[in-house]
Structure formats: structure tokens, C-alpha cells
Structure 1
Amino acid sequence: MPVEPRQLLRAMFDAAVGAAQPALRIPTHLPPPPTGRTLVIGAGKASAAMAKAVEDLWPAPLSGLVVTRYGHAVPCDRVEIVEAAHPVPDESGHRAAARMLEMVRGLGPDDLVLALVSGGGSSLLSLPAPGLTLADKQAVNAALLRSGACIGEMNVVRKHLSAIKGGRLAAAAHPARVVTLVISDVPGDDPAVIASGPTVPDRSTHAEALAVFEKYGIAEPRAALDHLRRAADETPKPGDPRLDRATTAMIATPQMSLEAAAEVARRAGVTPLILGDALEGEAREVGRVMAGIARQAALRGQPAPPPVVLLSGGETTVTVRGRGRGGRNVEFLLSLAVELDGLPGVFALAGDTDGVDGAEEVAGAVATPDTLARALALGVSAKARLADNDGHGFFEALGDQVITGPTLTNVNDFRAILVLGPLEAVPE
């Protein structure tokens, strides 16, 4: 039976998202209840769903506070859920971070802090370092998002402008035991990078954060630059005794989700090739590279003969120079489509597993062999839209957006390029 490309691509994406659902991943990672108090804290797009999973399973009293993105809340009975802005922080996240830091202070050695951390937590848990304001943090975040800086660079800066990130939250909870459960959304699954590692020792320095400003020509706000130059209060480093009772468990990762998508492909008779879960770089350049690999598979049967699906994850970046809305998945996909130029039998889906590509309430999009032709018929130039960083506008015009709503998890970007042989290819 021929493969229906759109359905298969969407089934793989849904499997990737499903494999990272907190209700599936939390149960095997919960620690035993302590003799003292249990305090649940957390930040990220999945944190409310994680808190709900903990509540449903926890056999003892607990209380707490987590902050998640607007629209990502899940009702809980014992853990307070606060919604805040992402990717640029707001006053709601600022207040929640201040309250959270205060809640963990004064705990004893018999108490347990259960920290639930996922992607997006860095913006949601925004508590400026002494001498800085929320407006300063907002300006820095906005500048970094426009700059093309990678997530690791962004989080080095965020840690050193914060009173809560980079291990500071766990340090404040000492001598309580701190157990952090993490859903990874970063290349390499480094817990010190995810949500800027509020409970994890930090190896980076003020000097490295300042170097990011200089690399991307960010000269404002002056208060942030002056703070980094003073380097007065460094983050807790490995070996800091305040973090000696803090442990971390990675409960869901991009690789796990790619493997779930690969299994869907196998059941459909398609050979999956996982090219990597940590691909970085400018989205349009990654799109060009992936187009070359797809063309090789389609025309020469390498690295595997069709039908094959090329799967990858990671977090690309978009340096917004045009008037468009950015969005790394749609920019990748538009670049891929332009480079393939209607190559028959090649279909692709790219989407963010949290349901939000950039600042848009759109997960991503689908590209088909007739994408460019259909756009041309509508008077829409793919190359012009790519030059303007307007992937969202392009795929919206075609009706090819992937819209999921909040998925309540986040294991970064998902990309699938389906290469079908002549007999398997299905006309649109």
C-alpha cells in the first residue's frame, strides 16, 4: 500500500511529542518521600504537566509553585500554577521567581525540593540580579533573540544577570535535598543549559557572558554590561558545598523522541535514519545541507535507498534581518523547499515539539514537491519570503502550517524528510 506522506509525517511528529509527555516519563523517576516536607518547584513549558503527574503519584503531603507559559497551565490541587510570558519575560514570571526563591529558603536537611525543569524555564523564571531591573532583562532577551545567538550563549548571559539561575536556586535551598527532573530541549542535553540550570552547578563566567554581548554587538542596556564587567557575584561552581545534596535526572530527551518517530516509520515500511538530535546553526543553512542529503537519497539511493526518512533534532537559530516573524522550523523548511526546487518524491515536516515555533502559536509546517508551484500560483515568491525571514507567512498562505496548540512538553525541534521512490510517491 502506498505511503500517504502527510499522514506519515504527522504520525511521526505526534509520536515524538507523545514520547516526551510528563505523565509517561515522571513515574519511574520519582524519589521516595522524605521524613520532612516536600516542596515542588519548577519552570518551563512542561512544568505544569510535570507537576500534575507528580501530584497524581505522590503518596505524601506536598506543596509548591511552578511557572509555565501562558496557555500551558494544567490544573493542580496542591501545587500552585502561575503563567508567565515567553520568550521575553514579564512581571508575572518575575514575581513567581521571587516567591520561589523565598519558598526554598529556611528548609532543613530532612526536607525535599522536587524541581521540575523544562525548556522555556529561563525566560519564565526571571529574577534580575541585584542592581538590575525586569526591563533590563527584557531588553537583553529581545536583543539575544534577534541576534542569532545559540541557546547556550543565551543562557550563559541569562545566568549571569540572574538571582536564581545557574545553580542559585539549589544553593538557596541548602541543606535540603534537591532532586531535579528535567525534560531536555537543548543540544547535548546539558542540565546546566536547560532553563539556565537553576539547580545545577555552572561552569561559565561573567567574562564569557560579556563575550556574547561583544560577539553580537549588543551595547544596551548599559546596566547589564556594567553588571557583567563588575563580576561581583559569580554563580555556584562544581564542588560548591551548597549543591552537595542536589541531583539531576534526565527524564525525556530529543533522542528518545526521535527513536519513537523512527519506530512509526519502520511500521510503515520506511527506513529511518537518525542524523542527530543536536543539530545547530542558521536554520536556512541547515535546510540547504539537509536538501543535499535528501537529493542524494532520492537520486542515488544513499545513505539508504527509498523509501527512507531522515530524522533530526536540535535547535537552529534565525538571525532576523527582514520584516518577517522568524521561526526556525519554518525558515528551515522554506530553505529546504527552495533548495530542492520541486524534487519529486520528497516531503518534509519541521516543527517545535512544544507547539510554538519562535513567538508564533504554530508548531511548524509541511513542505511537498509542489510547494513552490502552489506558492507561485498564489503570487507568493518562496525566495523573497525566505530573504524576508517570513516562513510563517509563506506556509500560512499555502495552508500548510502544523498547528497543535500547547503540547505540554518540549524536547526541541523535530525534522523529518521523507524520501519516497517512484512507485511509493503519491501525488498531492
Structure 2
Amino acid sequence: MTIANSAANSIKPRQLLLDMYQAAVDAVSATKCLPEYLARIPAPSGKGRTLVIGAGKGAAAMAKAVEDHWQGDISGLVVTRYAHGADCKRIEVVEASHPVPDEAGRKAAARMLELVQGLTADDLVLCLISGGGSALLALPAPGISLEQKQAINKALLRSGANIFEMNCVRKHLSAIKGGRLALACAPARVVTLMISDIPGDDPGIIASGPTLADPTTCADALAVLRKYNIETPEAILKHLESGAGETAKPGDPRLERNQHYVIATAQDALDAAAATVVAAGLTPYILSDEMEGEARDIGLAHAALARQIARRGQPFSKPCVVISGGETTVTVRGKGRGGRNAEFLLSLATALDGFPDIHAIACDTDGIDGSEDNAGAIYQPDSMRKAAELGLRPRAMLDNNDGYGFFSALGDLVVSGPTRTNVNDFRAILIL
């Protein structure tokens, strides 16, 4: 018996998959990632003060890390998702709605703009940004109502548009995104610390780049709305067609003193999960940290790869674990309780159809799959047999976008609660 096969025989598949997910989340937590970057930032001199602002699912945890590690006086305001708060003493934490914005987010964004008025060149603004900030900083541009932005946001979420397309639209309908928050801070120095939920980690896309220059245009935003046939109110059409929604552009002198750091990425999470696999005596293979596309299509591709490994030993030899990250999309056609990770996993399950010795997990690193209460789910070789015994119809449930319902019935949802970080999807397939 080889060493690898001996290790495989001692593996507890479900526990290993859960341990990998936990390692991935822990690796990108604000507590772990943020302090070393704070040490690089010079404090204001003389009469300057430090103001902390921010938005995202990880914003409160990031604010707490700043309070714990920043040397000097601080104050400020961050906005995070409901139930994602932290026990901050000097930085106010406001909770608001995600993924569809609400009035609490609008008020918080307006207050943030007011808070940065009147800063001087001696002042420092620490801006803490993580995934989810686009919806949480919901301040519509003049002439556009919150209700109109909510409707556009809902339509984009259901359309299958990717995060780059959605955030392009969001930037050009906003009074705070697309660099506008940084312009409002000028002439203060702005240092932005970001946890990336964007495939490829483009800092200008994370939370729609409230403090970074934006090369996209109103015409680009219009093209996205037309591509997906999004019903668009006249006020928004006028706003975009007139160019009134243009964002802060590269080369703007008001931004030249500013700095930004991406402090945690999907690759960091995947590397930590891979280390867990190695510690278990198996071989990990990271496919990519920036996979995109329809969740069900990605599920089919992963199932084909897993079968090829199991049957042919190609392109990897079993036992092994295949890991991937990124952000899939779901074009909603049914009425089920979905989530893109549950959709990916249900697609994989129907394709594998009980194929032996293949186990899988798919979870969002923020602990919330879509808008549900689970992070994702686990698939096991006997999942389809159990489903049949319960009278479930997996393919029909996939057509109804009801991955949540399927794995809930099996007792295989992963419920972690909010992790207060976010580098998007985590997927792992164990082939024994």
C-alpha cells in the first residue's frame, strides 16, 4: 500500500472538507491580515487626525482590528451587513441590507460623505473596504431614487451579469462610488485597505471602488443594461446618456497622494486550504482563484474533471483534492431557495449521480450563500441515493434554482454564520 493510499484510508471526508473551508476563512480574516499593513502606514503629523471609514461584510471586523492595533487617536464610521457587526468602541458601526440596498445603507453613505467634509492635507483617512460594499454604500446620484437603484440591483442579480458588469452600473448610478468618496476626502491623504471578493483582485472593482479612480464610462454602464435587457427608468437613462454619472478618472490630481493595499485574496484562502490537505497526507491541486461563469456550468466541468481523475488518473492521480475559487453567477429562472454554491453543488451532484469515492464542498467565504442562512453545502457519494429515498427530484430542483432545498432535506447544508470576511466562493472536491 502506498503512503497516499494509506492516508486516504484514514481520511474522514466530511471533516476534511469542513476543515479546509475553515482554514480558508481563517486565512483571510481581518484579525490575521490587517495588522501588518497598519504598521506600514505613517500616522498624521502635527495637527492631523485619523478618520476611519469603510463598507463591506468585513468592514466591522476590519474596524475592530484597527481599534486594536492603530497607535493613536481614531474615530469614524463603517457600514456592514445586518448581523455582521463587531464590538467597536471608537468607530461607529452601522448595519444595512445586502445584496439589495436599503434606507439604512443610504443614510450611512450620506453620513460618511458629511463626515469627510472639511478635512485638511494633514489628515489621514483609513478606508476599510470588503465585498458587499457596493450594496451597503447605497447613495444614489442626484435625480435617482433609492427605489430605482433597488430595482436595477435586483434585476442585475437575477440576470446572470458578472460582478464587473454589475459594479460598472453601480458606480455610474452612485454619488459615492467610483472614486467619489476619495474626491470628497481631498485634500486629506486616503489609504484604502481591501479584502478582495473580485476575481483577479482588481482594486477598482472591489465594492465598486469608492476611493479609486475608474476607467469605465457611462456608455459602458448603458451597454450592460442593454445587454441584459434591464428595464431602465427614464431618470437613469437620462443620467447615463448625458454623462452626468461619470466617475473619478485615472490621473485626477486629487487622488495622487492616495494609496491602496489588497490585504486578503481568494488565493490566500485557497493556499490555506491546500496546506490543510497536505497536513492530512494528500495532494492538493489549485485550479484557479478566479473562476467565473454560470454556477451549474462550472459544476458540470468540475464533475467531468473529478470523473477523469477517478477513472483515468488524469490530469492528476488520486487520492487528491481539487480546489478552486472565484465568483460564479446564477441566472434565476425558478422560484427555489438558491445560492450560487448550492447551485454549483447540485449541478455537480446530478452529473456525478452517485459516482463512488468523490466528495465535495462549496461555500461562500462570507458564510452566506446568496441571501440564505447557510454558507453552502457538502456533497457525498450517497447524496443521490438519500435524495431518492426522500422522493427528491434533483434535476427538477436544479431547474427551479433550489439547491438550498435539496441539501437542506439531506441535512448537508454548511451553516457557519457570518464570517465577517469575504473572498467569494470556495470549492473543493476530494477524490479517493
Please tell me the TM-score bracket, short chain as reference: over 0.9
Which stretches in structure 2 are left out of the alignment for 5+ residues?
1-8
- Map of 1:352 onto structure 2: 364
Shift, 1:325, TM fit: 2.4
**Does residue 22 of structure 2 align to residue 10 of structure 1?**
no
- Map of 1:67 onto structure 2: 79
**Does residue 162 of structure 2 align to residue 147 of structure 1?**
no
**Does residue 420 of structure 2 align to residue 412 of structure 1?**
no
Shift, 1:416, TM fit: 0.2
In the aligned structure 2, how far is the partner of 1:112 from the partner of 1:174?
A: 10
Decide whether the 8 Å contact of 1:155 with 1:193 is kept in 2: yes
- Map of 1:330 onto structure 2: 342
Shift, 1:25, TM fit: 0.5
**Does residue 183 of structure 2 align to residue 175 of structure 1?**
no
**Does residue 34 of structure 2 align to residue 34 of structure 1?**
no
Decide whether the 8 Å contact of 2:180 with 2:248 is kept in 1: yes
**Does residue 332 of structure 2 align to residue 320 of structure 1?**
yes
How many equivalent pairs are there?
A: 420
Root mean square deviation of aligned Cα:
0.8
Partner SS for 1:15: helix
- Map of 1:47 onto structure 2: 59
Shift, 1:304, TM fit: 1.5
- Map of 2:5 onto structure 1: none
In the aligned structure 2, how far is the partner of 1:225 from the partner of 1:73?
A: 36
**Does residue 137 of structure 2 align to residue 125 of structure 1?**
yes
In the aligned structure 1, how far is the partner of 2:244 from the partner of 2:35?
A: 41
**Which of these residues, 5, 20, 33, is aligned with residue 25 of structure 1?**
33
Decide whether the 8 Å contact of 1:352 with 1:364 is kept in 2: yes
In the aligned structure 2, how far is the partner of 1:279 from the partner of 1:397?
A: 28
- Post-superposition Cα deviations, 1:21-72, rounded to whole Å, max 9, x if no partner, equal 1011011101121121100000000000000000011111110000000000
In the aligned structure 2, how far is the partner of 1:222 from the partner of 1:397?
A: 45
Shift, 1:220, TM fit: 2.8
**Does residue 218 of structure 2 align to residue 206 of structure 1?**
yes
In the aligned structure 2, how far is the partner of 1:321 from the partner of 1:270?
A: 39
- Map of 1:266 onto structure 2: 278
In the aligned structure 2, how far is the partner of 1:129 from the partner of 1:325?
A: 32
TM-score (norm 1): 0.97
- Map of 1:220 onto structure 2: 232
- 1:181-330 matches, within 5 Å, as 181-330=193-342
Decide whether the 8 Å contact of 1:139 with 1:221 is kept in 2: no
**Does residue 385 of structure 2 align to residue 373 of structure 1?**
yes
Partner SS for 1:238: coil
Decide whether the 8 Å contact of 1:140 with 1:221 is kept in 2: no
Shift, 1:229, TM fit: 1.4
Percent identical: 63
- Map of 2:168 onto structure 1: 156
Which stretches in structure 1 are left out of the alignment for 5+ residues?
421-428
In the aligned structure 2, how far is the partner of 1:371 from the partner of 1:388?
A: 19
**Which shifted more, 44-53 or 301-310?**
301-310
Shift, 1:385, TM fit: 0.3
- Post-superposition Cα deviations, 1:215-274, rounded to whole Å, max 9, x if no partner, equal 000123332222111212411111011111111101000001100000000011111000
TM-score (norm 2): 0.96
Partner SS for 1:315: strand
The letter for the 2-side match of 1:165 is K
- Map of 1:343 onto structure 2: 355
Partner SS for 2:72: coil
In the aligned structure 2, how far is the partner of 1:60 from the partner of 1:3?
A: 49
Partner SS for 2:337: coil
Decide whether the 8 Å contact of 2:174 with 2:245 is kept in 1: no
In the aligned structure 1, how far is the partner of 2:401 from the partner of 2:250?
A: 40
In the aligned structure 2, how far is the partner of 1:190 from the partner of 1:6?
A: 34
In the aligned structure 2, how far is the partner of 1:322 from the partner of 1:112?
A: 48
